[in-house]
Amino acid sequence: MSGLKQRRMLGGIAVQITALLVGLTIIFPIIYGILGAFKSPAEFSAYPPSFWPKSFAYTQNFQDAFARVPFLRYGLNSLIVALIGTTARLLFAVLAAFAFAFYDFRFKKTLFLVILATMMLPGDTLLVTNYLTVSRLGLLNSYLGMAITSFVGATQMFMLRQSFLTFPRDLKEAGQIDGCGDLRFLATILLPISKPVLVTLSVQSFVTLWNAYLWPLLVTNSTNMRTIQVGITMITSFEDTNYHLVLAGVTLSLIPAFLLFIVLRRNIHRNMTAGALVG
């Protein structure tokens, strides 16, 4: 009996060590990228290539990267676009979910399907025609132009509706009799109760928008309006491969999404996987 136990324990340790090694392999590119940000140009061109930087006190790359491209401005642009997009997407999704969960009206099912079916049209295939629309609206090189295509969150609407449906309907009726208006009910009762879902969906939207590349690239051409994800690819060029600066920029760009991810990992983990199978 104790022999079996011991074997189980040893097996468990072996599995954990294997998992750690596999995990290290998976995050190797990230570690490599961050370490590279601390390497001097000389260390970079040396052969054989080094894994560890000589010193973590070497911060010249970050300073040079800041001097070369307006990083703070890029970060601010990304932040604004991500906030506009997340706010509008969540607001519209909340309103629609509220209607679908608590009202009965004609064409309810059809409208619901019309919104859900947007998930079947991959955004990438619509890039060029959306570019024409945004350009015609005069929104090139604007925050609104960068955020506007992300305002429709069918997945978010669906998950919020699911969450709202769990709210006992007679409680809402009771509130109504007490003179609690619809929007007040939504703002003071329903939303606070749905906070966990809202937080997850917001973080998810924020990270997606913060990380977006193709659309912001398409609709901006002035240096001042570039987002950080577009900016970091522009530090390098064919003639001039400043890998040490690139990695410094990349490392800086990782920080916000990274922090959000680590802090909210459990929350995201639970809610994302719960929602993913329906979305």
Partner 1 sequence: MSEVQPIQLPLARGSLMRKAKPYLFILPILVFAVGFIYYPFFKTFLFSFSTVNAKGVITGFAGLDNFNYLFSRRDFKIALENTLKITAINVPVTVLITMGLALLANKKRRLSPVYETMFTLPMAIAMSAAAMIFKVLLNPTVGYLNYALGLDFGWYQSRDYALYGILMLTVWMGIGFDFLLFLSAFRAVPEQLIEAGIMDGAGWLSRFFKIQLPLISPTILYVTLTNMVLAMMVSGPVIILTQGGPARSTTTLIFMMYNSGYGSANYSLSACISLVAFALTFALALLAFYVERKRVHYQ
- Is residue 14 a contact point for partner 1 (CB under 8 A)? no
Nearest in space to 262 (alpha carbons), one of 253, 252, 254: 254
Among 72, 126, 174, 263, binds partner 1 (CB under 8 A): 126
Nearest in space to 264 (alpha carbons), one of 256, 276, 252: 256
Per CB under 8 A, the segment of 53-61, 68-76, 97-105, 188-196 that binds partner 1 is: 97-105
Nearest in space to 102 (alpha carbons), one of 158, 193, 182: 182
Among 10, 20, 72, 187, binds partner 1 (CB under 8 A): 20
- Is residue 122 a contact point for partner 1 (CB under 8 A)? yes
Contacts of 60 (CB under 8 A, 6+ apart): 40
- Is residue 169 a contact point for partner 1 (CB under 8 A)? yes
CB 90 within 8 A of CB 202: yes
- Judged by beta carbon, residue 35 or residue 60, the one nearer partner 1 is 35
CB 160 within 8 A of CB 94: yes
- Is residue 98 a contact point for partner 1 (CB under 8 A)? yes
- Judged by beta carbon, residue 47 or residue 178, the one nearer partner 1 is 47
Q: Which two tokens stand for residue 114?
A: 């019309």
- Judged by beta carbon, residue 72 or residue 113, the one nearer partner 1 is 113
Contacts of 75 (CB under 8 A, 6+ apart): 228, 252, 253, 256
Among 7, 54, 184, 269, binds partner 1 (CB under 8 A): 269
Please, what is the minimum distance in Å from the beta carbon of residue 195 to partner 1?
20
Element holding 42 (H helix, E strand): helix 41-45
- Is residue 121 a contact point for partner 1 (CB under 8 A)? yes
Residue 39-78 contact track with partner 1, rule CB under 8 A, x = bound:
-----xx-xxx-x---------------------------
- Judged by beta carbon, residue 49 or residue 55, the one nearer partner 1 is 49
Among 6, 7, 10, 19, binds partner 1 (CB under 8 A): 19
Q: Measured in whole angstroms, how far is the alpha carbon of residue 33 from the centre of its chain?
A: 20
**Rounded distance between C-alpha atoms, residue 80 and residue 217, angstroms:** 16
* Other residues' Cβ atoms within 10 Å of the Cβ of residue 82: 24
- Is residue 110 a contact point for partner 1 (CB under 8 A)? no
Q: Measured in whole angstroms, how far is the alpha carbon of residue 274 from the centre of its chain?
A: 18
Dmax over CA atoms of the chain, in Å, equals: 78
- Is residue 27 a contact point for partner 1 (CB under 8 A)? yes
Among 61, 77, 149, 220, binds partner 1 (CB under 8 A): 149
**Rounded distance between C-alpha atoms, residue 235 and residue 223, angstroms:** 12
Scan residues 174-213 and list those touching partner 1 (CB under 8 A): 176, 182, 207, 210-211, 213
Please, what is the minimum distance in Å from the beta carbon of residue 194 to partner 1?
16
- Is residue 160 a contact point for partner 1 (CB under 8 A)? no
Please, what is the minimum distance in Å from the beta carbon of residue 36 to partner 1?
6
